[in-house]
C-alpha cells in the first residue's frame, strides 16, 4: 500500500479531523498540541489550508472526540487507477 500512495497522501485522502462537540469538553489540549496552530480557539474548527494531517489532535484528545475523516471515493479511485496502469495478460490453466 505504501508503495502506491504519494508522499502527501494523508492530506489527499483525508479531510481535517472532525470534533464531536457532544463528547468534547473544550479542554484545549488539541489547540495546544497542533504544530500548525490550525485550530480555532473559540470554535475548535480547523483551518483546512494550515492543517498538515499529522493527527496529533486525534491521538491525544483525552475524550476521543476528534476523528479522522477519510475521502473514501477519492481513495478507492486513486488506488484503482494506479494499480491498473499496466494491463495484465490473462492466463489459462488446464
Phi and psi (nearest 5°) for 19?
Answer: -110, 125
CA nearest to 53, candidates 23, 8, 20: 8
Contact set for ligand SF4, span 23-42 (CB under 6 A): 24-30, 33-36, 38-39
Q: Per DSSP, what are the bridge partners of residue 87?
A: none
Q: Which window, 1-9, 59-67, 71-79, 84-92, contacts ligand SF4 (CB under 6 A)?
A: 59-67
Question: What residues contact residue 88 under an 8 Å CB cut-off, 6+ apart?
Answer: none
Question: Closest approach of Cβ 35 to ligand SF4, in Å?
Answer: 6
Q: Does residue number 46 form part of the binding site for ligand SF4 (CB under 6 A)? A: yes
Question: Closest approach of Cβ 16 to ligand SF4, in Å?
Answer: 6
CA 7 to chain centre: 13
Q: Per DSSP, what are the bridge partners of residue 19?
A: 66
Positions touching ligand SF4 (CB under 6 A) are 17, 19, 24-30, 33-36, 38-39, 44, 46, 51-57, 61, 63, 65-66
Amino acid at each position: 500500500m505504501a508503495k502506491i500512495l504519494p508522499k502527501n497522501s494523508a492530506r489527499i485522502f483525508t479531510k481535517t479531523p472532525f470534533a464531536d462537540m457532544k463528547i468534547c469538553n473544550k479542554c484545549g489540549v488539541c489547540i495546544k498540541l497542533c504544530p500548525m496552530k490550525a485550530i480555532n480557539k473559540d470554535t475548535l474548527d480547523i483551518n483546512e489550508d494550515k492543517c498538515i494531517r499529522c493527527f496529533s489532535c486525534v491521538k491525544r484528545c483525552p475524550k476521543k472526540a476528534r476523528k479522522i475523516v477519510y475521502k473514501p471515493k477519492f481513495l478507492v479511485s486513486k488506488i484503482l487507477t494506479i494499480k491498473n496502469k499496466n494491463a495484465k495478460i490473462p492466463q489459462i490453466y488446464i
